[in-house]
Structure 1
Amino acid sequence: MKDGSASLNENAQRIADGMIHDAERLRISVSKGPSGESLIDAGAKVLGSVEAGLRMAEAAMGGLGTISAVMDRSLKKWPLTVEVRSSQPVLACLASQYAGWNLSSGKYFAMGSGPARALARVEPLFEKLTYKDTASSAVLVLETAEPPPPAVVQKVADATGLAADRLTVLYAPTQSLAATVQIVSRVLEVALHKANDLKFPLENIVDGIGASPIPALHPDFLTAMGRTNDAIIYGGIVQLFVKGSAKDAKGLAEKLPSKASRDYGQPFANIFKQFKGDFYSIDPLLFSPAEIIVTAIETGDTFRAGGRDLMMLERSLG
């Protein structure tokens, strides 16, 4: 046991193994890469499914998240919604789900997500996270249409201290059913990441739940990427349960919504074009849910800020 949870990678490996067992039902394909790594294609050369995306997201959270697809009738045009809960939100979201590991090589570009990051611990974020995983296998999640080339597989193997044949890679392109679901399943994660950027003590975030509409997928990469981002930025809602003073909880609630960003108010695809495709020029405070609820568990106070922007959802999700 580590920080009150079993190994993130062991948890994720069980989920990945279940996906392999149910491959036909999930409409995914399973193969071995040139270095012996296990490859699970959830949407590149296969159709994939919503369920494959849900399981992909659960693996990305190291098994510490409960994720489901539900029908939210309050959003009449986009009722299909993903709901994410975690009682270990810092570990599930920041130590595992956050796509913070640059695994680009040559013309291949991918940001690594999933619990393999907690074994590698190569990102500056892990200077704040005390969690250290130990496992005999590792699970990596990639938002890409191509499996990682041998150079990337070797980079992951070296960083995690595991042989390549102990790695399982789940991947799907942005335009697929599975990727669309697993991307909007990050609605809670973006709130945690922004809370960290705002220097709110991560140890004070003890529980969380989030929901986001699942947009229709689109064959164009930029449109698909814009829709998944806008689903969270203009349609996501998160409630966090925190320790500490009511004042701190109120301050967090006021600063967390995406509306606090200077770049708020346009479809994400337009913002991306405006900054010539440079993610790092976009205000990082934009990447957060539209509506925030923060409950201070030691005082009983609850604070609310932001709100869903139906006009922006109409412009982006169609």
Structure 2
Amino acid sequence: MLPATITAMHPLDSKKTTAHDAANGLFKNALRDATEIRCHTHKIADASILDAGIDTNGSLAAGLILARLCMGDLAEIQITACDNDTYASSNAVFVRTDDPLVACLGCQYAGWPIQTNDFFAMGSGPMRMARGREETLVMLNLTQAASSVVGVLESDKLPTRSAVETIAEQCGVSTSNLHLAIAPSTSIAGSVQVVARSIETAIHKLHELKFDVTQIVSATGHAPLPPPAKPGDTTTGIGRTNDAMLYGATVTLWIDADDGAIDGVASKVPSESSPDHGRPFADVFKEYDYDFYKVDPMLFSPAVVVIHNLRSGKTWRTGRLKTDVLIQSFT
């Protein structure tokens, strides 16, 4: 049975449980409890599919499970209360991890645009490490083969047979050992799993700034949960979830590094360092012809970043929340 509270936690036993093992176990339990969490299950080309928001409304519980799957179940994730006057929402997603490199860059980062002639989705989860083709994964030694893999897809339609076969082939597994959870950004579950990416955006930004992200020891993230957009209105769904991050997220990082290295990047991590900052993301997205790759990559980061240096005891706090933009986006 699922816990009574809307909380998702994974008590890791040091490094004995890999992201692949943990995610496979969680996916198996989610399939078993699919009806209870308002999900549908499918078999496509022998792969197991958990639909958390395409042909079903899904649920908050399903969103937390998708978020956990995205992070290889290497994080604690909760839906918490927050100040509506500040965040334009009464709820937020709080994330904590003591394995930020693997959980965020190894698993959660949506670095795999999956495309066939009849399907497109952004792919996350431990399956990315099994595929091992992304430059960041290779650079940080985050590739990891597995006999059974789990992935999360952001899309508004179920994967086709060709997509399933492509994913399995690139991950080096049979389709029967491929497990995919899927939800659009306009759904309840899809909104939760996207907003749970606050830490990932900060760490990815630091990596882009050439900071040694292997020095990040632990992290927390907090971002408001926006209202879901109308089904099919992908631009609004993407806009609201991104705005939750860009204008409402606060990420705290515990780092073991020289003060000088942190001084060199701290002010550049928050989203306000981008010239595209200050408007609802839907407007920015439209300006760039709905092409993510044309948007300034420095925009994709939290509103506020706090860094504690374990080596010196010094703390940095940079960035600012933008309540006015959150209100404009969410309402």
Task: Mark the CA change 1:5 to 1:133 in structure 2 (over 3 Å): closer, same or farther.
Answer: farther
Asked if the contact 1:194–1:256 (Cα under 8 Å) also holds between the matched residues in 2, the reply is yes
Aligned to 2:127: 116
Residue 50 of structure 1 aligns with an amino acid whose one-letter code is: L
Asked if the contact 1:250–1:294 (Cα under 8 Å) also holds between the matched residues in 2, the reply is no
Aligned to 1:196: 207
Aligned with 1:271: secondary structure?
Answer: helix
| Pick aligned residue for 1:12 from 5, 23, 27 | 23
Answering whether residue 240 of structure 2 is matched by residue 230 of structure 1, we say no
Aligned to 1:308: 321
Query: After TM superposition, which residue ranges in structure 1, 4 or more long, deviate above 4 angstroms?
Result: none
Aligned to 1:160: 171
| Pick aligned residue for 2:75 from 65, 86, 90 | 65
Q: Determine the C-alpha separation between the residues in 1 that align with 2:309 and 2:40.
A: 45
Question: Where does 1:24-39 land on structure 2 (aligned, <5 Å)?
Answer: 24-33=35-44, 35-39=45-49
Aligned to 1:103: 114
Q: Determine the C-alpha separation between the residues in 2 that align with 1:76 and 1:294.
A: 22
Q: Determine the C-alpha separation between the residues in 1 that align with 2:133 and 2:35.
A: 35
Question: Where does 1:1-318 land on structure 2 (aligned, <5 Å)?
Answer: 4=15, 6-33=17-44, 35-73=45-83, 75=86, 77-219=88-230, 220-318=233-331
Task: Mark the CA change 1:76 to 1:252 in structure 2 (over 3 Å): closer, same or farther.
Answer: closer
Aligned to 2:5: none
Q: Determine the C-alpha separation between the residues in 1 that align with 2:147 and 2:293.
A: 35
Q: Determine the C-alpha separation between the residues in 1 that align with 2:216 and 2:265.
A: 11
Aligned to 2:4: none
Aligned to 2:6: none
For residues 35-61 of structure 1, what are the alpha-carbon distances to aligned partners after superposition, in whole Å with 9 as ceiling and x for unaligned? 100010000001100110011000110
Q: How many Å apart are 1:164 and its aligned residue?
A: 0.4
Q: Determine the C-alpha separation between the residues in 1 that align with 2:87 and 2:317.
A: 23
For residues 2-51 of structure 1, what are the alpha-carbon distances to aligned partners after superposition, in whole Å with 9 as ceiling and x for unaligned? x9453211111111111112112100011211x10001000000110011
Residue 238 of structure 1 aligns with an amino acid whose one-letter code is: V
Asked if the contact 1:82–1:181 (Cα under 8 Å) also holds between the matched residues in 2, the reply is yes
Q: Determine the C-alpha separation between the residues in 1 that align with 2:206 and 2:296.
A: 15
Q: Determine the C-alpha separation between the residues in 1 that align with 2:243 and 2:202.
A: 14
Gaps of 5+ in 2: 1-11
Asked if the contact 2:54–2:158 (Cα under 8 Å) also holds between the matched residues in 1, the reply is no
Q: Percent identity?
A: 36
Residue 64 of structure 1 aligns with an amino acid whose one-letter code is: L
Asked if the contact 1:60–1:96 (Cα under 8 Å) also holds between the matched residues in 2, the reply is yes
RMSD of aligned C-alpha atoms? 1.5
- Normalising to structure 1: TM-score of the pair? 0.96
- Normalising to structure 2: TM-score of the pair? 0.92
Between 1:252-261 and 1:128-137, the stretch displaced more is 128-137
Aligned with 2:223: secondary structure?
Answer: strand
Residue 240 of structure 1 aligns with an amino acid whose one-letter code is: L
Q: Determine the C-alpha separation between the residues in 1 that align with 2:303 and 2:80.
A: 19
For residues 68-97 of structure 1, what are the alpha-carbon distances to aligned partners after superposition, in whole Å with 9 as ceiling and x for unaligned? 000013636312000011101010001101
For residues 247-274 of structure 1, what are the alpha-carbon distances to aligned partners after superposition, in whole Å with 9 as ceiling and x for unaligned? 2223332111000001001110000110
Gaps of 5+ in 1: none
